[in-house]
Chains A and B, each alone.
Chain A
Amino acid sequence: GESVGLHLPTLSVQEGDNSIINCAYSNSASDYFIWYKQESGKGPQFIIDIRSNMDKRQGQRVTVLLNKTVKHLSLQIAATQPGDSAVYFCAENQTGRRALTFGSGTRLQVQP
């Protein structure tokens, strides 16, 4: 598969552990945030989103936390599985603007 980033920060975890992937954003006007997962050879896959009027949102095995004070976003994956191995991107958006601004990505490697 193709590489989506040759020098991505990498998080290596053991299967069954919890993973935390962090993202800092710079635009204080951003009010919508999304996490995407990209596997080799595929397009980004939507995981979970959160609006700026919330600070936490939970999905199936995933939780997104938003700290607007320090402009920080995190994705927590519970009981990480080998199928979670991928590159994870955070993206931000501002109401009225369509363009998503993506972070540089974090590679998650799950060791069996």
Chain B
Amino acid sequence: KAGVTQTPRYLIKTRGQQVTLSCSPISGHRSVSWYQQTPGQGLQFLFEYFSETQRNKGNFPGRFSGRQFSNSRSEMNVSTLELGDSALYLCASSLGQRGTQYFGPGTRLLVL
């Protein structure tokens, strides 16, 4: 069974732009969570989607948003990019809301 896939793998943007990242969960998984990883803050939870609804949200500004489609694929969007948004963005999927989370390879975002 294929793992979690994320596209693109690398992205360079400039301040003020917006970006959309995509995540395809493991087949059959319905819950998708997003995390931000930086050297300074480590891994931090952004939000979780299940059945196309945001179920949980971390402590990030409203510039960070997401959505989930009926096939469980998810996108996250960051608007008005700031230098501090440079990070590895990780997507994790699980069967249900109580299942083990399996991570994708991440999207490395660099904001210049």
Interface residues of A (CB under 8 A from B): 2-6, 34, 36, 41-46, 49, 89, 91, 95, 97-105
| A42 CA / B9 CA spacing, docked (Å) | 10
Whether B100 lies near A98 (C-beta < 8 A) is no
With a cutoff of 8 Å between Cβ atoms, the chain B residues found around residue A98 in the complex are 31, 33, 45, 48, 55-56, 97
The answer to whether B43 has its CB under 8 Å from any CB of chain A is yes
A44 and B90 contact, Cβ closer than 8 Å, known pairs A3-B39, A95-B98, A104-B42:
yes
Which one of A2, A6, A99 contacts B58 once the chains associate, using CB atoms below 8 Å? A99
| A44 CA / B105 CA spacing, docked (Å) | 8
Whether B100 lies near A102 (C-beta < 8 A) is no
With a cutoff of 8 Å between Cβ atoms, the chain B residues found around residue A45 in the complex are 103
- Interface size of B in residues (CB-CB distance below 8 Å): 27
Question: Which of the listed residues B35, B37, B43, B97 has the most CB atoms from chain A within 10 Å of its own CB?
Answer: B43
Interface residues of B (CB under 8 A from A): 4, 31, 33, 35, 37, 39, 42-45, 48, 55-56, 58, 88, 90, 92, 97-98, 100-106, 108
A99 and B45 contact, Cβ closer than 8 Å, known pairs A3-B39, A4-B37:
yes
| A8 CA / B35 CA spacing, docked (Å) | 19
12 more contacts with CB within 8 A, not counting A2-B88, A46-B103, A102-B44, are: A34-B100, A34-B101, A43-B90, A44-B103, A89-B43, A98-B31, A98-B48, A98-B56, A99-B45, A99-B56, A99-B58, A102-B43
Whether B101 lies near A100 (C-beta < 8 A) is yes
Whether B106 lies near A43 (C-beta < 8 A) is yes
A43 and B104 contact, Cβ closer than 8 Å, known pairs A98-B48, A99-B58:
yes
A2 and B108 contact, Cβ closer than 8 Å, known pairs A89-B43, A98-B48:
yes
A49 and B48 contact, Cβ closer than 8 Å, known pairs A4-B39, A44-B90:
no
| A3 CA / B42 CA spacing, docked (Å) | 11
In the complex, residue of chain A having the shortest beta-carbon distance to the beta carbon of B103:
A43
Which one of B42, B48, B92 contacts A5 once the chains associate, using CB atoms below 8 Å? B42
Whether B42 lies near A36 (C-beta < 8 A) is no
CB A50 to nearest CB in B, in angstroms, measures 11
